[in-house]
Amino acid sequence: MSAHRSDRDRREQALRVGLPIFVLVIAVAAWELAVRLANIPPYVLPAPGQILQTLFADRSLLVHSLLVTLVTTFEGFVLAAAGGIALAVLFNQSRLIEYSLYPYAVILQVTPVVAIAPLLLIYLPQHLAVLACAWIVAFFPVLANTTLGLNSVDRNLTDLFALYGASRGETLWRLKLPSALPYILGGLRIAGGLSLIGAVVAEIAAGSAGAGSGLAYRIAESGYRLNIPRMFAALLLLSAAGIVIFYLLSLLNYLALRRWHESALTADK
């Protein structure tokens, strides 16, 4: 019976991986075919093969730009993670601070970052402005999730800590933060993708005026020059970066929680 089951599981797994790849192959082939048959010029729509060629030919330029964007994303992410968690802990410890600052955190979150970016570019050097954008979009999910986590502590465990005379610091460190960890990691997973988006938005806003050389800047620049294949190549790298960030954070989530949290457990193990 169990052999039966694991057979079915394996087939299920193969389908989960195989089907998206199958769809991708079909779509790319159709794209390639359409471009060739209809003789579409590359400045209108480049064929996948040509995009890959461009990716390879411009690799040093594009990889350099990718690194610039990734560094900004990473810095924005780290600051957002640290700031979001720290602010949530502060809110949790002091109601007054929470009441004073929370509305502004919400305002930062609901104002579209595309609209903030040009303003930041006026007041800050470009690198800092891009970083600030990455931070602004990424920190709120960390703040919101951590706050939720810190407030979701088992009441009985809270009582237990009170019974044994735990100080606020001990309660925070040994009870609230571990309880909040799954929520924090969930927030980080969202923040990773968002800080990439924030960085890209700011680079685009800086546009040709900026001296930056991130991937989004490359996309904007290639657009002005009608170098459409390079736009696609840069876009491909951006998506790949986003996917890698997401999976890295999912892996972190899994490694941190696999021994104890329901979300990271596989069935029957």
Yes or no: say if 229 and 48 are a contact pair by the CB < 8 Å rule. Answer: no
Site map 120..159 versus other proteins, x via CB under 8 A: ----------------------------------x-xx-x
Residue 20 token pair: 């998206």
Q: Does 169 bind other proteins (CB under 8 A)?
A: no
Q: What is the DSSP letter of 175?
A: I
The Cα–Cα gap between 78 and 249 comes to 12
Of the candidate spans 9-17, 90-98, 172-180, 231-239, the one that interacts with other proteins by CB under 8 A turns out to be: 172-180
CA distance 16 to 52: 26
Length of the chain: 269
Q: How many residues in the shown chain lie near other proteins by CB under 8 A?
A: 21
* Among 23, 34, 106, 160, interactor with other proteins by CB under 8 A: 160
Do 144 and 187 touch, CB atoms closer than 8 A? yes
Is residue 173 close enough to count as binding other proteins by CB under 8 A?
no
What φ, ψ does residue 166 adopt, rounded to 5°?
Answer: -70, 140
Question: CA 168, 172, 174: angle at the middle one, nearest 5?
Answer: 115
Give the residue with the Cβ less far from other proteins, 112 or 165: 165
Single residue of 70, 175, 184, 228 touching other proteins by CB under 8 A: 175
Distance CA 144, CA 103 (A): 12
Report how far residue 165's alpha carbon sits from residue 159's, in angstroms, rounded to the nearest whole number.
Answer: 10
Nearest distance, CB of residue 249 and other proteins, angstroms:
19
Name the one range near other proteins by CB under 8 A: 43-51, 56-64, 165-173, 229-237. Answer: 165-173
Q: Closer CB to other proteins, residue 184 or residue 241?
A: 184
Q: Decide: is 255 part of the binding site for other proteins (CB under 8 A).
A: no
Residues that bind other proteins (CB under 8 A): 154, 156-157, 159-166, 170, 174-175, 178-179, 181, 259-261, 265
